[in-house]
Chain A
Amino acid sequence: MEALDRVVKPKTKRAKRFLEKREPKLTENTKNAILIKGGNANLTVTEVLKDIYALKKPFAVLYKKKNITRPFEDQMSLEFFSKKSDCSLFLFGSHNKKRPNNLIIGRMFDYHVLDMIELGIEKFVSLKDIKNSKCPEGTKPMLIFAGDTFDLNEEYRRLKSLLIDFFRGPTVPSVRLAGLEYVLHFTAMDGKIYMRSYKVLLKKSGCKIPRIELEDMGPSLDLVMRRTHLASEDLYKLSLKQPKALKPKKKKNISHDIFGTSYGRIHMQKQDLSKLQTRKMKGLKRKPIAKMTEEGEGISPKKSKSV
């Protein structure tokens, strides 16, 4: 509906489709990511960006040229890029003496920066350094977060949310069980975050569930949290708001017990109890009054007792 409300009306169907793809919708598209190199990005940072681009294909754009910006000071150019390429996630890599091997991971809301977290790369093992078979491009990874810091610390919680957003890929209704080949494991330990990627090998076991063996595969990063720029609470809450249309419809008149029993309510009209069809018992049949007086005088009508 809002598609056709813009001031400049698209002249071709292709332009219209292009604009409709980018407008806000009830169920959104998969988030794209832009990977940008800063003014002085060294080899490590460039390799990291290339590896993550390989992980996130085709939902990522890797900018080849260096962009001299400082995301923490000025977000204008990042927002411009995000608007141009319709990407809501970004990864900015840079290197200088004060902050060596710097990675800024962030996301946007309505083409404005929502959250930004700066991470330092302590150790990096690239995809091509580990020589073994890799999984196909575009595999949906399994994500595992280990460590209680991811729940206790507010910044770590946002980082967890950011990483899930970044790596989760498209939302699918069903998945081929044999195709679960890739797992990304994040551990928060000793103030550092260890990101490891493994290839999953499903081995035979006694029961239906296969036994898992892991093989070291992809990029592995040791990260340290530096600066953060988190969105305010109300802005974050606004961004989390889901449309009412997507909420699952509650079935009325059905309630569930804690034991799992489900109860249903039926609404009936008012019933005339005198006309109810019950079991016929001959002894309870009402006899006509003439017959009663014939049978005996002893039988007298009931007298109401006065209290």
Chain B
Amino acid sequence: MAAPRVEELLARAEQREAQLQPSVAVEKELELEFDLGNLLALDRNPPARAADAQRESRLRSLARDNTQLLVAQLWALPAERADGATGPLVAQLPEPSYRLPREKPLPRPRPPTRWEQFARLKGIRRRKRTALVWDEAAKQWRRRWGYGRAGGDPAREWLIEVPAGADPNEDQFAKRLSDKRERVARNELNRLRNIARGALPGRGLHPTGHQSRAELGRAAQVARVSTASLGRFQPRLPKEPAAPPPRGGKKRHFEPLLGDLAAERSRQLELLRGLSSKKPPLDLKRAVNKQLREEDAEAAANKGKKRGQRGKRGRQRPGGGKGSAAKKGGARRRQQQQRGPAGRKKS
């Protein structure tokens, strides 16, 4: 008799408890999917249709239920108290599992530079250099380069010894400056070359096809060359313009295999005739005359240029005495200039 009464008592006690304390239980047909890394919950249950008036309250109760479930999941995570026993309760979130697209494409590894390739071949490894160097003159540890470097500021050099084999009248300071400029330019060129080596023509293709005409053309060209094999080439599209004639000098000009047989015959005979003739191929007299003519032409051109320069300088000099000379020079220069374009037009 006592057993059922105890059960009754317990049941009644539970009921009273449930009434007093608000419950955290939520009933759902389908379980929700959670992604706690993103604080995300996905509810697959079809929502109950409601009229306009009750829609807001329906939505709110649905939201409340879903939020309750999500919070229950979050409270189940391993939590600890930050900053000791009195700090706020902090839960460790897992990695977000919902896959979202990236902002930018994956980073590509940089292709090795020319030096790096060589070093890898030879097995040369990088030696770590010390940050500071002992400066004997200042009796201090100074930087290797930069502000306050060991060996003094190179811009403040007031004495440069002329090296043994150099011209005594050469400006060593200017030479130093120009050498530095050359080094900087060479380094820049090599850096750009390394970058250019890494950038292949097909790599710059944009995923959505927003491409400049030139880039697309280049990519198409590369594709056409890559798909060619054993003399079989990709056919041109109906409206595509014909292939541009292959460029190349005298030596890259290839005749078709079975072309003009008569022309080939005549060419071969010409060749044989040249081989068998007793005359030397170089006509010495003709060559010498040609050279003399060229030299004369050069001398004449230089003379004209000098006169023109003098005329220009004459014009710039201030004032009177040389005025007439200047005018003459200027006139001659103007004449030459007029001749120049006319000459070009004729040719």
Question: Pick the contact of B24 from A205, A236, A239, A241 — CB < 8 Å?
Answer: A205
Residue B195, interface by CB 8 Å: yes
- Interface size class of chain A, counting residues whose CB lies under 8 Å from the partner chain: 35 or more
Residue B120, interface by CB 8 Å: no
A208-B63 in contact (CB<8A): no
Residue B334, interface by CB 8 Å: no
Q: Check A110/B105 contact, CB under 8 A, given A173-B93, A176-B89, A196-B60.
A: yes
Within the complex, the shortest CB–CB distance from A61 to chain B, in Å, comes to 15
Question: Pick the contact of B79 from A75, A113, A177 — CB < 8 Å?
Answer: A177
A110-B207 in contact (CB<8A): yes
B105-A177 in contact (CB<8A): no
Question: Pick the contact of B207 from A109, A176, A179 — CB < 8 Å?
Answer: A109
Assembled-state Cα–Cα distance A266/B290 (Å): 91
Comparing B43-51, B170-178, B244-252, the segment that makes contact with chain A is B43-51
Question: Pick the contact of A112 from B45, B49, B92, B208 — CB < 8 Å?
Answer: B208
Residue B239, interface by CB 8 Å: no
Assembled-state Cα–Cα distance A172/B93 (Å): 7
B43-A147 in contact (CB<8A): yes
Within 8 A of A (CB), among B82-107: 82, 88-93, 95-96, 98-107
B38-A164 in contact (CB<8A): yes
B22-A211 in contact (CB<8A): yes
Q: How many residues of B contact A (CB 8 A)?
A: 62
Question: Pick the contact of B102 from A23, A141, A168, A240 — CB < 8 Å?
Answer: A240
A187-B89 in contact (CB<8A): no
Assembled-state Cα–Cα distance A79/B210 (Å): 10
A108-B23 in contact (CB<8A): no
Within the complex, the shortest CB–CB distance from A226 to chain B, in Å, comes to 21
Number of A-B contacts (CB under 8 A): 214
Within 8 A of A (CB), among B29-66: 37-47, 49, 55, 59-60, 62-64, 66
Question: Pick the contact of B47 from A1, A6, A146 — CB < 8 Å?
Answer: A146
Residues on A with beta carbons closer than 8 Å to the beta carbon of B72:
209
Residue of B nearest to A29 (CB): B103
Residue A150, interface by CB 8 Å: yes
Residue B198, interface by CB 8 Å: yes
Within the complex, the shortest CB–CB distance from B92 to chain A, in Å, comes to 5
A146-B43 in contact (CB<8A): yes
Question: Pick the contact of B110 from A5, A172, A211 — CB < 8 Å?
Answer: A5
Residues on B with beta carbons closer than 8 Å to the beta carbon of A57:
none
Within the complex, the shortest CB–CB distance from A70 to chain B, in Å, comes to 16
Residues on B with beta carbons closer than 8 Å to the beta carbon of A207:
24
A146-B206 in contact (CB<8A): no
Within 8 A of A (CB), among B184-236: 191-192, 195, 198, 206-208, 210
Within 8 A of B (CB), among A121-145: 140-145
A212-B71 in contact (CB<8A): yes
Residues of B that sit less than 8 Å from A by CB: 17, 21-24, 37-47, 49, 55, 59-60, 62-64, 66-68, 70-72, 74-75, 79, 82, 88-93, 95-96, 98-110, 191-192, 195, 198, 206-208, 210
Residue contacts A-B, CB under 8 angstroms, 23 given: A9-B191, A28-B102, A29-B103, A109-B104, A110-B207, A113-B208, A142-B39, A142-B67, A143-B40, A144-B42, A144-B63, A147-B43, A161-B98, A161-B101, A164-B100, A173-B92, A177-B74, A178-B89, A200-B67, A205-B23, A235-B208, A240-B99, A243-B106
With A213-B64, A214-B63 known, 18 other A-B pairs at CB within 8 A are: A2-B110, A29-B103, A109-B101, A109-B103, A111-B104, A144-B70, A168-B40, A173-B92, A176-B88, A177-B74, A185-B66, A189-B49, A196-B59, A196-B60, A203-B22, A209-B24, A212-B67, A231-B208
